[in-house]
Amino acid sequence: MSTSTNTPVKIYLVDDHEIVRRGLAEVLSQDGRCEVIGDSGSAVEAIARIPALRPDVAVLDGRLGDGSGMDVCREVRSIDPHIHCVILTSYDDDEAMMQAILAGAQAYVLKQIRGNELVDVVLRVAAGENLLDDGAAREVRDRIAATDISHHPALEELTEQERRVLLLVADGMTNRQIAGELFLAEKTVKNYITSILAKLGLGSRTQAAVLVERLRTHALSAPNVRNLA
């Protein structure tokens, strides 16, 4: 990451108004600590270009003509999690904030922010800080972990017992711990995991855990995120 004082932080801008992108570029580039390396006016273009250019920070408009900054954030970070995202929006509402947290953004700021404050936010995010409210983020993570996906269509090929095993794998349990939890032999658990990975087309239990987190996140965000606030 380009976070030293000698190397400008590389920024990519996404807003569906050209004049806004120009203004943001001027504000962010004025003191030399940030360098705007690209911009887009649509979600589709941004999702295609950002991973290729690999900016340190993508500053994303909350609402776009063909999607949202949260959509772009989610897609970009699924490709390259090292790219940090700041959601810049005119709308201060709980639903958008929760969507930003779910998408993996590191900051959610209103467009009324002063230029020097936005520069500070971008630099802090580039340095690895997460500026989203810790309490809200913790609540979302807890709700993700508690989201029931045992009957999700993506897991329909698994037996009920295999689904139980999969969810315990996702919770970080070892084979021995799962065996104790489900009153099974450790070898039986190993056989279940082998079957689960084969049915889901996965190569490791880590991939299985990532899949479960992704399904839980999508289930939580899809349709009632406002009710979480």
pLDDT tens per residue across span 11-21: 999 999 999 99
- pLDDT tens, residue by residue, 114-150: 999 999 999 999 999 988 866 766 777 677 677 778 8
Supply the pTM of this predicted model: 0.64
Radius of gyration of the chain (CA): 20
Task: Decide if 94 contacts 48 (C-beta within 8 A).
Answer: no
**Two structure tokens written together for 104:** 């993996």
In the predicted model, what is the mean pLDDT of residues 76-92? Answer: 89
Q: 194 versus 103: which is more confidently predicted?
A: 194
C-alpha to C-alpha distance for 96 and 70, rounded to whole angstroms: 8
Distance from the Cα of residue 177 to its chain's centroid: 29
User: 2: pLDDT confidence band, cut at 50, 70 and 90?
Assistant: low
* Alpha-helix residue ranges (DSSP H) falling in 42-185: 43-53, 69-79, 94-103, 115-126, 134-146, 160-170, 175-182
pLDDT recorded at residue 225: 38
- pLDDT tens, residue by residue, 25-62: 999 999 899 999 999 999 999 999 999 999 999 999 99
pLDDT recorded at residue 224: 41
C-alpha to C-alpha distance for 165 and 156, rounded to whole angstroms: 14
**Two structure tokens written together for 49:** 């270009």
**Two structure tokens written together for 197:** 């990975």
User: 1: pLDDT confidence band, cut at 50, 70 and 90?
Assistant: low
In angstroms, the first-to-last Cα distance of the chain is 33
What's the burial of 204, exposed, middle or buried (CB within 10 Å: 0-12/13-18/19+)? exposed
Angle, helix 115-126 to helix 18-29, in steps of 10 degrees: 70
**What is the percent of the chain with per-residue pLDDT over 90, rounded to a whole number?**
58
Residue 88 has pLDDT above 60, yes or no: yes
What value does the mean pLDDT of the chain take? Answer: 87
pLDDT recorded at residue 177: 94
Task: Indicate the residue type of 12.
Answer: Y
What's the burial of 161, exposed, middle or buried (CB within 10 Å: 0-12/13-18/19+)? middle
User: 5: pLDDT confidence band, cut at 50, 70 and 90?
Assistant: low
